[in-house]
Structure 1
Amino acid sequence: MSNSSSLVRYLGSRLLLAPVMLWLIASLVFLLLRVAPGDPVDALLGNRASAAAREQLRAQLGLDQSLWDQYREFLGALLQGDLGNSLRNSTPVGEIVRDALPASMELGITALLVALVLGLAVGFSGVARPEGKLDLSGRLYGIGTYALPVFWAAMVMQLIFAVGLGWFPVGGRFPPTALPPQGTGFYLLDGILQANPQVIWGTLQHLALPAITLGLLLSGIFERALRLNLRRALRSDYVEAARSRGISERRVVLRHALPNALLPVLTITGITVASLIGGALLIELIFSWPGIAYRLQEAIAQRDYPLVQGIVVVIAALVVMVNLAVDVVVALLDPRLKF
């Protein structure tokens, strides 16, 4: 069987498994929310509400139904693309996610670019002189940035660059005295499309510090991956054959070893998306970034079942799609892969 047909079968199996994974995640979140301590009615009315008011609200929200009936109703709506309405203000969960997702994506994409630039630059710098000072510094950088606690690093960055030096705002997504741009929801993109330098500058001022912080913490993953794979590639037979033909070391590294060393990094990029979402939760909280992770924390604190379920399902779907796309790209770029 040819590799192309094997790839099609592999992708087909992944596409068939994706709905099953989303169903398992949605079911698990549904169950965990209802067995966890706390009551949405208490979160909405407080502990001093009368029993009649509590029962009336419980019936209004559908929480007086059996667990099976609630699950069946939730799953039926999900199959129709309906994420439900927020318990707090009856706003459709889809609208809340649609408003918050561009902020998280803007932060995540920028942080990922920062992580790639820093990680690949540091990882590549140690190749020239293995076991030298630069290589040792790169190793320490990779281990240190990977091990730093997110909340601690974020607060230190705030204290140094926002409070101490005053280079960046402490938090927020846009200057509070200005009206945010209308359009795609991606403020930086909207500023560029509208050719508005004030919007671009205001967005960059607020985006820079959280994106650099999150990118710095993730860059160690790419540094270690590139350094290990590039060193392995430089010891391979095809690289030794290129050297034996008199090809310069610079060309051997850039044209022969580096492309093969970057393929595993591409795979790690897809895996890092999940870590990016987890790390973004603390980053968005500390920097008051109004993204989807920030909304998730609010929904959990308010025991807003539909909003938590909707956000988790959307995040899971994004992770599945990104990893599937990365698998396709890696398969197309590396014909050695067998499925």
Structure 2
Amino acid sequence: MSGNGALLRYLGARLALAPLMLWLIASLVFLLLRVAPGDPIDALLGTRAPEAARAALRSQLGLDLPLWQQYGQFLSQLLRGELGTSLTNQEPVRAIIGASLPASLELGVVALLLAALVGLAVGFSGIARPEGRLDLAGRLYGIGTYALPPFWAAMMVQLIFAVWLGWLPVGGRLPPTVLPPTDGGFYLLAGLREGVASGRWQLLAGTVRHLVLPAGTLALLLSGIFANALRLNLRRVLESDYVEAARSRGLGETRVVLRHALPNALLPVLTITGITVASLIGGALLIEVTYSWPGIAARLQEAIAQRDYPLVQGIVVVVAALVVLVTVLVDLLVALLDPRVRF
């Protein structure tokens, strides 16, 4: 089979599994919300509301239908690209997600870039002298940052840099004196565009100041994954036969590491990047709540507390679709770089 044919077959198999994964996730969330203790009617009307009002609202929201009918309506809406209407404020779920998702994407992308930069630097630093001080420090850094509880790390960073030192704001996304952009929820891009066009950098400066602590905290928690992955894979590659063959030809150690070992050691790290995107969800929830970041994770926490079925289902499905998309793109990139994956 030709290389292109194998690549297309591999990509087709990955794409064919994506809808199945989304259906399983959506169905699981639907069932878990229905069997979990609590009633959305209690969250909307309270426990002392008259039974007639409770029954009328339950009928209006379709919660009095049998479970299989609710599930059928949910799948029918999902296939049409509709996510329903929020139970708490009667807004379309798509509009709520559209207003909150850019903040989470901005936080997640910046945190992932910082985590990869710091983690790869730490993982690479101990290669010159294995089992030396730098290698030991990098190993401790990777284990320590991975084991940090996200809520504790966020509160400590907030306490040190925002409360004690007063260098950065405690939370929020913009200072109260700066108006948010009206042309989208990506404040970094809007601030950069405004600064280049008019020379006013207040929006960009305010966004960066408020982004440093939450993105830095999330990057700190994720950087250990990259550090350990690169360290372990690079050490394994440096002990392989083809690296020894390169050394036997008289090549310098620097060239052997950079030209022969590092590219092959980065391939598993690239795969881990796709898995790390899923880790962003759990970490971002606690980070966004701690820093009052108006993102999708904070909205999910509110929706769960309010038993807002459509909003929880919509957020989980959209986030799962993003994770699946990123995973497929990473797998495709790995297959392009490493032909062995295609077969």
Aligned counterparts of 1:90 and 1:47: Cα–Cα separation in 2: 20
Q: Deviations over 1:258-281 (max 9, x none)?
A: 111111110000110000111101
Check if 1:238 corresponds to 2:253.
Answer: no
Equivalent in the alignment of 1:184:
184
Which residue does 1:122 correspond to in 2? 122
- Mapped to 2, the partners of 1:206 and 1:130 lie a distance apart of 39
Q: Greater shift after overlay, 70-79 or 235-244?
A: 235-244
Q: Residues of 1 paired with 2:184 and 2:242: CA distance? A: 47
Contact 2:153 2:217 in 1 (8 A): yes
Q: Which residue of the partner structure matches residue 103 of structure 1? A: 103
The 5 Å alignment of 1:234-313 reads 234-313=238-317
In structure 2, the residue matched to 1:226 is 230
**Corresponding residue for 1:133?**
133
Give the TM-score, by structure 1 length.
Answer: 0.98
Question: Over residues 109-145 of structure 1, what are the superposed CA-to-partner deviations in whole Å (9 max), with x where a residue is unaligned?
Answer: 0110111111001110000111111111110000000
The reply on whether 1:62 has 2:62 as its aligned counterpart is yes
**2:206 aligned partner:** 202
Once the two structures are superposed, what CA deviation does each residue of 1:47-105 show, in whole Å capped at 9, x if it has no partner? 12111111111111111111111111111011000000001111110011111111000
Amino acid at match of 2:311: L
Tell me, yes or no, if structure 1 residue 316 matches structure 2 residue 328: no
Unaligned runs of 5+ in 2: none
Aligned to 1:252, what secondary structure does the other structure show? helix
- Rounded Cα–Cα distance in structure 2 between residues aligned with 1:306 and 1:171: 28
Q: What amino acid sits opposite 2:73 in the alignment?
A: E
Letter in 1 for 2:266: L
Give the whole-Å Cα distance in 1 for the aligned partners of 2:321 and 2:164.
Answer: 40
Deviation at 1:16, TM superposition (A): 1.5
Q: Residues of 1 paired with 2:312 and 2:231: CA distance?
A: 39
Please give the alpha-carbon distance, in whole angstroms, between the structure 1 residues aligned to 2:293 and 2:186.
13
Q: Does 1:6 align with 2:6?
A: yes
Superposed CA RMSD in Å reads 1.0
**Deviation at 1:176?**
2.3
* Alignment correspondent of 1:333: 337
Structure 1, unmatched stretches of 5+, are none
Q: How big is the shift at 1:25?
A: 0.9
TM-score by length of 2: 0.97
Deviations 1:176-195 (A, max 9, x none): 23211122311011111121
1 CA distance for matches of 2:309 and 2:171? 28
SS at match of 1:185: coil
Aligned-partner Cα distance in 1 for 2:252–2:246: 9
Kept after mapping to 1: 8 A contact 2:100/2:296: yes
How many aligned residue pairs are there? Answer: 339
Secondary structure at the counterpart of residue 340 of structure 2: coil
> 8 Å contact 2:88–2:308 — kept in the other structure?
yes
Q: CA–CA distance in 2 between the matches of 1:117 and 1:270?
A: 16
Q: Give the match for residue 216 of structure 2.
A: 212
4+ runs of 1 displaced by more than 6 Å?
none
CA distance in 1, matches of 2:340, 2:126: 28
**How much has 1:245 moved relative to structure 2?**
1.9
Which letter does structure 2 place at the counterpart of 1:287? Answer: Y
